[in-house]
């Protein structure tokens, strides 16, 4: 009898062990690629993304992060499309022909200059863009699907001028060589007599230190993340306004997405939402900390003259029409005026929503409740 019992117990244990092994083997392994350098604000948020995916899925999703290794930003969209990475941080403005509708609204971030955002323009833009793409822009989702991808989150931050020479008035922009990482900022710079210079992010430090650039548009956090603290002498706030507005923080390969169960998609969507919210929140916090540190280091943080701010606001109002017209003509888009108006409406809404947010968790909950939770994971992106 005892021997029989041991045999039965051993058999049951063997079955349970086999079931556990099968369950573990069925855990989904995903590769997330970002162009951010290791230990940067963005890369640290990506590490939390992997942790959250595992936590929300109860270990059913195992994610490995590749920071500035598997794919560069310029390789990201085709890399995710072709499955080199399962998920990646795709920057729409790097691929305007593939994502014209999404890129068009990304050029609108100088709206920051028209509102009192209380240094929360990046958070407001984040919420507005998620709500716009997920719930209001069929064409955006369609062009993303055409690249074999699914949009799940974004992130944003306020940008400002970082220079090696003082810029206080609009006339000080004459002849200034500036890295403007967006067509709208290029138009703004040229309208003031400046020269737009195109160089990769990882060459900004060298460009400023060698005098190839006079200024660069960046988030203040990059004074630390890119080491710009050692070369920048002046930071000019409030002009031109805006932030990088075309981030698809964690676009998922469509084949990978459809291969997940609805529950896995929901858990990944929750993790992606937290990832983007954390990145935007950390940039907001790190921007303020970096500015304080810059002043301690003797970097002059300049408040621009009112006429400079007024000139920038006038340009922004006029440029909204330019954006609508240029995308309609270049990419044969329809309804561009309506799209611009909708994004303006959503941004104004989110400026109000984010004012009382006091943590990344609270921001993630806000974006989830207002937008992300309203998509149907059974059909979204397909």
Mean pLDDT of 314-338: 97
Residue 78 lies in a domain: yes
- By the 8 A CB rule, do 76 and 33 touch? yes
Per-residue confidence (pLDDT) for residue 4, from 0 to 100: 38
Residue 282 lies in a domain: yes
> In which band, very low, low, confident or very high, does the pLDDT at 11 lie, cut at 50, 70 and 90?
very low
Written as six digits, the tokens of 121 are 């323009």
Residue 92 lies in a domain: yes
Residue 314 lies in a domain: no
Q: How far is CA 304 from CA 110, 240, 338, 342, 361, in A?
A: 16, 10, 33, 30, 34
Mean pLDDT of 353-365: 97
pLDDT tens digit sequence for 151-171 = 999 999 999 999 999 999 999
Report angle CA 171, 299, 306 to the nearest 5 degrees.
35
Mean pLDDT of 370-379: 98
Query: How many whole angstroms separate alpha carbon 30 and alpha carbon 82?
Result: 14
For residues 171-209, b (16+ Cβ closer than 10 Å) or e, as one string? ebbeebbbbbbbbbbbbbbebbebbbbeeebeebbebbe
Q: For residue 243, what are the β-bridge partners?
A: 158
Per-residue confidence (pLDDT) for residue 201, from 0 to 100: 83
Residue 95 lies in a domain: yes
Share of the chain above pLDDT 90, in %: 87
Mean pLDDT of 112-126: 93
**What pTM does this model have?**
0.89
Average pLDDT, the chain: 92
Per-residue confidence (pLDDT) for residue 2, from 0 to 100: 38
- Is the model's pLDDT at 5 over the cut of 90? no
Query: How many whole angstroms separate alpha carbon 115 and alpha carbon 347?
Result: 10
Residue 213 lies in a domain: no
- Quick one: CA torsion of 197, 185, 311, 295, rounded to 10 degrees? -80
Q: Which of 174, 172, 164 is nearest to 195 (CA)?
A: 174
Per-residue confidence (pLDDT) for residue 12, from 0 to 100: 39
Residue 232 lies in a domain: no
Per-residue confidence (pLDDT) for residue 20, from 0 to 100: 35
CATH of the domain at 82: 3.40.190.170
The boundaries of the domain holding residue 144 are: 28-158+245-300+333-374
Mean pLDDT of 332-345: 98
- DSSP string over 260-328: S-HHHHHHHHHHHHHHHHHHHHHHHHHHHHHHHHHHHTT-EEEPPPHHHHHHHHHHHHHHHHHHHHHHH
Mean pLDDT of 354-358: 96
Q: Where are the alpha helices (DSSP H) in 82-152?
A: 100-106, 121-131, 138-146
- Please identify which residue in the block is written with the tokens 């028209």: 114
N-terminal to C-terminal alpha carbon distance within the chain: 58
Residue 183 lies in a domain: no
Higher pLDDT, 126 or 1: 126
- By the 8 A CB rule, do 99 and 331 touch? no
Mean pLDDT of 68-86: 97
Count the Cβ atoms, other than its own, within 10 Å of residue 240: 32
- How many domains is the chain built from? 1
């Amino acid at each position: 009898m005892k021997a029989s019992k041991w045999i039965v117990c051993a058999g049951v244990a063997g079955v349970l062990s086999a079931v556990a092994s099968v369950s573990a083997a069925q855990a989904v392994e995903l590769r997330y690629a970002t162009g951010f350098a290791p230990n940067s604000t963005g890369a640290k948020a990506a590490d939390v993304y992997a942790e959250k995916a595992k936590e929300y899925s109860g270990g059913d999703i195992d994610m490995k992060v590749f920071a500035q290794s598997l794919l560069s930003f310029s390789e990201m969209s085709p890399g995710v499309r072709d499955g080199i990475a399962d998920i990646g941080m795709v920057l729409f403005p790097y691929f305007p022909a593939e994502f014209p509708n999404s890129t068009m609204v990304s050029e609108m971030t100088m709206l920051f200059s028209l509102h009192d955002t209380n240094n929360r323009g990046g958070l407001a833009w984040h919420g507005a863009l998620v709500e716009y793409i997920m719930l209001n822009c069929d064409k955006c989702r369609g062009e993303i699907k055409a690249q074999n991808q699914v949009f799940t989150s974004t992130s944003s931050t306020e940008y400002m001028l970082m220079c090696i020479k003082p810029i206080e008035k609009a006339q000080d922009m004459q002849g200034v060589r500036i890295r403007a990482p967006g067509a709208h900022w290029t138009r703004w710079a040229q309208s003031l007599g400046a020269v737009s210079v195109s160089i990769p992010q990882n060459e900004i430090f060298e460009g400023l230190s060698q005098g190839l650039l006079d200024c660069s548009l960046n988030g203040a956090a990059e004074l630390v993340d890119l080491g710009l603290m050692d070369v920048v002498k002046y930071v000019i706030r409030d002009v031109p306004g805006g932030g990088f507005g075309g981030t698809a923080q964690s676009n998922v390969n469509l084949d990978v997405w459809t291969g997940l169960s609805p529950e896995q998609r929901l858990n990944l969507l929750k993790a992606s939402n937290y990832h983007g919210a954390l990145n935007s929140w950390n940039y907001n916090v790190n921007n303020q900390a970096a500015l304080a540190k810059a002043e301690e280091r003797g970097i002059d943080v300049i408040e621009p003259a009112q006429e400079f701010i007024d000139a920038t606001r006038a340009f922004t109002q006029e440029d909204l029409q330019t954006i609508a017209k240029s995308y309609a003509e270049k990419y044969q888009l329809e309804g561009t005026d309506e799209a611009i108006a909708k994004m303006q409406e959503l941004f104004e809404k989110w400026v109000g929503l984010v004012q009382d947010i006091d943590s990344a968790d609270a921001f993630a909950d806000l974006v989830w409740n207002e937008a992300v939770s309203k998509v149907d994971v059974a059909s979204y992106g397909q």
